Each structure stands twice: as structure tokens, then as C-alpha cells.
Copies of this chain bind each other. A is one copy, B any other.
């Protein structure tokens, strides 16, 4: 039985992930936003590696079937209808529509992860449902990959903490478990922070969001188990 955590998608190739169960985590904010959008009735989310790609993908689509959403440096991309805030993903904004989402860290991580099978989308906001689903998968396969999006190609504490919580939940009672160094370290973070509120208080991304008056997003993303759904990413679409 093996669980591997990766703190960023860098250095990972399709060959490392092909056919393995993969959970992608970007707590602040892409995966929280994706869960929120689907809970509000979005038809699907299509993650794009860049804003240009999102524009290109939607160039020939009927205007009323999709929404462009995303951020650069935390802020809404000019010309896009929505940013990357889970609070913006209201039924009014996204119900029945396909959301094309381009973010700095989360959507490129999802694009890297797509060789996995299945690819689950996780955050604090759907943690309990995610953990149950990931544990089932792990017990069936004896293997799980947890990929953190990280931040600006580097380690992000909020994702690593969530990965650690997931390792803890998934491995329960497992004997003969192999963890890679990142999984061992992520698991250790569970003892350091009582909950997501504490972990997010300690992390860089939350500080920067607060400076940009996006502190309400941090609060939203820190509240565990708002939603009971576990999005899966398949054939370029998250549903």
C-alpha cells in the first residue's frame, strides 16, 4: 500500500500518474472554486493551462453556454466574467453553464494530473466526501497520489496541510504502508494545526488574499465540508 504526495506538479510527467488514482488540491482557491461552481449547478468546469487557452477553447462556442473565469496574481483576468473566487460561483452566475477556468496554480496542476484515473478534485470545502471517496479508491488499488497545486511553482502550506489530513484519513488502520517523504511531512502538519482555519492563518497565500481584500474567500475556503460532492476530471471536463 502506497501513498505519494507531491507538493507541486513540477517534475511530474504523465508517465508518473498514468492509470493511478490522483487527488488534486488547491485550497486557495481553484479547487474550492470548482467544488462551489458545481454545487451551484454548473454543467462542467474545463480547466485551462492559461488564460489564452481558455479564450481559444471558447472562441467558437455559443456565448450563452459558457462562462470565462480565472485570475492572474489573485485578480480577475480582464475580459473574463468571473474571477477565481468560490463566492462568485452562484447559481445566477454558473447554473447550467460550462465554466472555463484559468488560474495560476490550480488549473495547470489539473492539466498535469489528467493522466490519472480517476482524477478527483479536493479542498477543505468538500473534505469529508473527498476522504471517503479517496479511501475507497486507495483500499481498492493499494495506491494513491495526492498532488498539491502549490503556489507560484513552490510549496504552499494550505495544500500540504490538506494533503496531510487526507493521508491521515485514507490510511486509517492500514498496515505495511509506504509514504514518500512529502506524505510523511504532510502528515506531520496535521499535528501542527488544529484545523483549516489555523493552517490558513499561517500561510502566505491567505495573507496576500487578505491584503487584496479577499479575506472573505479565505474564510470560505477554510470552512470544511460545506459541500458533499467530489468532482472528477475526465475527458478534459470536471463534473
Interface residues in chain A, defined as those with a beta carbon under 8 Å from any beta carbon in chain B:
6-8, 10-11, 151-157, 160, 180-182, 184-185, 188-189, 192, 202-205
Contacts and interface: CB of A to CB of B under 8 A. Distances in A.
Contact of A182 (B154, B202, B205): B154
Contact of A155 (B151, B181, B192, B203): B181
B7 A155 contact: yes
* Number of copies of chain A assembled together: 2
Contacts of A192: 188
A199 to B, nearest CB: 10
A206 to B, nearest CB: 10
A178 B97 CA distance: 42
A185 B181 contact: no
A8 B185 CA distance: 15
Ranked nearest first, the 7 interchain pairs of A and B with the lowest CB-CB distance are: A11-B153, A157-B181, A155-B182, A10-B10, A181-B204, A7-B155, A188-B192
Nearest to A161: B185
A127 to B, nearest CB: 20
A181 B152 contact: no
